Structure 1
């Protein structure tokens, strides 16, 4: 067994497309050794009750937030695709709202501001599409099927013995 702790692993952001949802939403962060490991960990958490149909994971340091200092990166020779996520109200999840072409994350954030208006710092995220690792449609059976054989049971499902039935 490895002596590496989860604190030494990079942090990934998890985005889930719900069963009846139209857009991906940011669900949480987790630490994993690589993107494949992050997908498997996210599957165990978010597909446990078969809530989701697809996952995206991306390294946290690949996200650029509005209002934060720009990460120093070399601008691309040609535009690349960025995914935009917006938090419409404080306390709500960031929702995927658009894919756009830009030469850098700050340029993508500027385009988002011109299209959607100004938001408070941290409410808009730009993420290069190349930074995303996605669950594959052909792997859907692999992701969902193991969970179908494990029904989720509420605590009220279980019968308590008479000796502790007063609980």
Structure 2
């Protein structure tokens, strides 16, 4: 029996009155989302610049470098998978989200602590900036430690918390990948001194083709 509707267009579709069983959706074929943070100069805090979609964090790092570090100064890059970042509620501009949250004081740890990175948003419309690192046994405890260490540096509209082990960080020896040759005035892709790194990578991963 067909479905009858007040909308004649629906009636003309001759849809069955009983809805068919819904089949489970197939796994998504899109790449995962990663968040990128860049460092403008030595000693500066890493600042959020935007997301990238990639199959893994190494490719995400490459995409973020090409997308976010070619047209402005950059000496360092951090990448974190979006699902690994815990986000607090948002406060209003001029408010401190730590003061609005019910955050318990840190207690004596019964588990081994690990490092967490803390990012603060000072004003809506701006970017999250790295505030520092804390040691904790959970995201909640990391937020507690962050409140004690950085909570008075308000206003703080929002906080991101991510385990340090989930952040892919550019190494000290990789900083020359953003250096351009003297002949190049702008940050063009061809100007990056990365050919030696590519050659080294090929040599280290060279395999013998099957006969």
Q: Which residue of 2 aligns with 1:36?
A: 58
Residue-pair matches, total: 139
- Please tell me whether residue 109 in structure 1 is matched to residue 143 in structure 2: yes
Return the alpha-carbon distance in structure 1 between the equivalents of residues 147 and 81 of structure 2. 24
Cα displacement (A) at 1:51: 1.5
Q: Which residue of 1 aligns with 2:49?
A: 27
**Residue among 165, 176, 182 paired with 1:141:** 176
Q: Which residue of 2 aligns with 1:48?
A: 70
Over 3 Å counting, the alpha-carbon distance change for 1:143 and 1:40 in structure 2 is farther
Cα displacement (A) at 1:151: 2.1
Return the alpha-carbon distance in structure 2 between the equivalents of residues 104 and 37 of structure 1. 28
Consecutive unaligned residues of structure 2, counting only runs of 5 or more, are: 1-27, 91-109, 189-211
RMSD between aligned alpha carbons? 2.9
Return the alpha-carbon distance in structure 2 between the equivalents of residues 20 and 12 of structure 1. 24
Q: Which residue of 2 aligns with 1:81?
A: 115
Q: Which residue of 2 aligns with 1:161?
A: none
Over 3 Å counting, the alpha-carbon distance change for 1:37 and 1:149 in structure 2 is farther
Return the alpha-carbon distance in structure 2 between the equivalents of residues 135 and 20 of structure 1. 13
Indicate the structure whose relative CO is greater, using CA pairs within 8 Å and at least 6 residues apart.
1
Q: Which residue of 2 aligns with 1:128?
A: 163
- The worse-fitting range, judged by mean Cα deviation, of 12-21 and 84-93 is 12-21
Over 3 Å counting, the alpha-carbon distance change for 1:152 and 1:103 in structure 2 is closer
Structure number with bigger Rg: 2
**Residue among 84, 92, 106 paired with 1:62:** 84
